[in-house]
Each structure stands twice: as structure tokens, then as C-alpha cells.
Amino acid sequence: MLAYRHAFHAGNHADVLKHLVLVQLLTHLNEKDKGWRYVDTHAGAGGYSLASTYALKHREFEAGIGRLLAHEPATLPPPVAAYVELVRRFDGAARGESAPAGPALRQYPGSPALAVALKRAQDQLRLFELHPTEHKILAGYLGREPGCEVRLADGYTALKSVLPPPTRRGLVLIDPPYELKTDYTKALGALREALTRFPEGMVMVWWPQVQLVEAAQLAQRLKASAEAQAKKGWVLVRLTVAEADARGFGLLGSNVFIANPPHTLHGALQPVLPWLARELAQFAGAKGYVERSASA
């Protein structure tokens, strides 16, 4: 049942998109002193070795974070530079070096590692992971960190226990494996649940671009739910980098939907998506763009 291991995919183009947006949202929350709560319904292991047999099996990171590291940091668009800086810092800390690491990355941060890097003393992390091995690694990494709680639990059902945050500031990341088609309906249900309990909260859903009707329909369903429930509208970010194989299979790209985005998000990401599409392209038709609701 729980066959998915994120270590195979760590640092690929989909992680780049998801984590770049995540860093933007948490950085925005840090603009005010009032504490926030970050909820990760599908947290994974927290960080991944790119030298592991998992990561080296398909070397997905090479066509993702690997391509961004080839650039001088000063030449990167600012949102990309902010994300890459945190990736380099995580790798440097894992190697025991204080200076940012060179181009060959050995460790890649998962979403909890990026959140803890941006967390201040007044902020909280609530991390759910159902795979016992991934949970054990995550609990070993962040279980004793002040303000962090790591639970071996179903993130969909546990979500309601941590919303709304006491300060009514926060971000929910819904990032399931989508190995089962039911994840598409459950992710939508989780967004609705989060917005019912926390209508002003930021809710971020990641999902893959694959040739499945469930994947194609999710954008419209998320938009309709956010139109009905979110106080500050939505932003949808799409990045396509590859084409399907002859049988119609393959990960073509990914999408990130944000309910109640910062009002600056659309403008900050608009120039970045075409740039990312060019940098991460695996075929001539690569494209990236950002949409928003009238109220975002």
C-alpha cells in the first residue's frame, strides 16, 4: 500500500517547483512578527541523500535542482535564488560545513527542512507521515526541535486536529504521492476541510501532470472550492517540462495551487515560470505560467 518513496524523486523538476513556491509563502509569513503554523499533511523523510541508491536509480535531481546549481547565484531570478540558497545551506549543514556547498549536491531538503530553515522561535511545524521508515527518519531529524511535532498519522484525517492555528496565521501543504487515484479526491477534500476550519489560511496543493482524467480535472475543482471558501482567492502555477512516452505514460510536469496567496505572489512568479520552463525543459514544448483569480 505505502510503496512510494520520495527518495527516488528528490530534487527533480517537480520538487523544484513545489519547494520554490513553498519558500515564497513562508518568507511572506515571516514579514510579520506574529507566529505561524506550518502543517505538512504528507511530510516525507525531511531530507534526502542524493548519493543513495534510490536517488541514483534515475538521477532525477540532475534535470531538476542540478540544472539550477549550474548558474551563478547572482544571475538567478530572485525567487529561484532564495530557494537555491536554502538548498545549498541544507547541503552545507549536512556536510558539516558552514559555507555554501559547491555544485555537486549530496543532500536535498524536503519540505519540512525548508520550513524549519525559515521557522522563527514563535512559529510551529505540524508534520504528518504515514510510512513508518520515512516517519522514523523525520522524527529523528525534527522530533525534538522546539515548536515541531512529528506524527505517524494519516495527514488527511489528522489535518482537522491542527486547524485553525491559535494565531490564525499559517500554511497547509497537501503533497500526497498520487500513486492511488483516490489521492486526487482526498487532496481536494483536504483543501476544503482546511478552508472550512481556516478560511483565511494559505493552503497549497501540489499534483502531477500525468495523462489521467483525475489530474486534468483537479485544477477546476480546486478553483471552484477556493472561489467558494477562500477569503483572498487563488493562484495556480503550472510547469510542463516533458512529453509522454509512446504509451502515454510519464511525469510531464506539475502544478501548484495556492488558496489565499500573498497578493505579491502572482507578480513575483510570473517572470520565473517561463525562465524555469526554459531551464528545466526536456523537450521543445516546455512551458510555465501562472494564473490567478480576480480576487488574488
Ligand X SMILES: C[S@@+](CC[C@H](N)C(=O)[O-])C[C@H]1O[C@@H](n2cnc3c(N)ncnc32)[C@H](O)[C@@H]1O
Residue type, 73: P
Among 36, 61, 141, 156, the residue binding ligand X under the rule CB under 6 A is 156
Among 131, 169, 266, 292, the residue binding ligand X under the rule CB under 6 A is 131
> Per CB under 6 A, does 43 bind ligand X?
yes
Min separation Cβ 72 and ligand X, Å: 26
> Per CB under 6 A, does 4 bind ligand X?
yes
What is the CA angle 175-179-182, rounded to 5?
A: 80
Is residue 160 within 8 A of residue 191, CB to CB? The reply is no
280 to 48, 192, 239: CA distances (angstroms): 21, 32, 9
Among 91, 123, 129, 193, the residue binding ligand X under the rule CB under 6 A is 129
Beta bridge partners of 245: none
Q: How far apart are CA 159 and CA 153, in angstroms?
A: 10
* Total of chain residues touching ligand X, rule CB under 6 A: 21
x/- contact string, 157-186, with ligand X (CB under 6 A)?
A: ------------------xxx---------
Min separation Cβ 16 and ligand X, Å: 11
> Per CB under 6 A, does 207 bind ligand X?
no
Q: Which residues participate in catalysis according to the annotation? A: 175
> Per CB under 6 A, does 42 bind ligand X?
yes
**Contact stretch for ligand X (CB under 6 A) within 79-87, 153-161, 196-204, 213-221:** 153-161
Min separation Cβ 127 and ligand X, Å: 9
> Per CB under 6 A, does 128 bind ligand X?
yes
> Per CB under 6 A, does 12 bind ligand X?
no
| Spatial CA neighbour of 56 closest among 1, 97, 100, 104 | 104
> Per CB under 6 A, does 39 bind ligand X?
no
Q: How far apart are CA 39 and CA 115, in angstroms?
A: 10
60 to 9, 13, 112, 191, 276: CA distances (angstroms): 6, 8, 20, 29, 16
> Per CB under 6 A, does 44 bind ligand X?
yes
> Per CB under 6 A, does 35 bind ligand X?
no
How many other β-carbons are positioned within 10 Å of the β-carbon of residue 282? 15
Give 133's DSSP letter: H
Phi, psi at 213, each rounded to 5°: -65, -35
For residues 188 and 296, which CB has a smaller minimum distance to ligand X in the complex? 188
Which residues in this chain contact ligand X in the complex, by CB under 6 A? 2, 4, 6, 18, 40, 42-44, 110-111, 128-131, 134, 154-156, 175-177
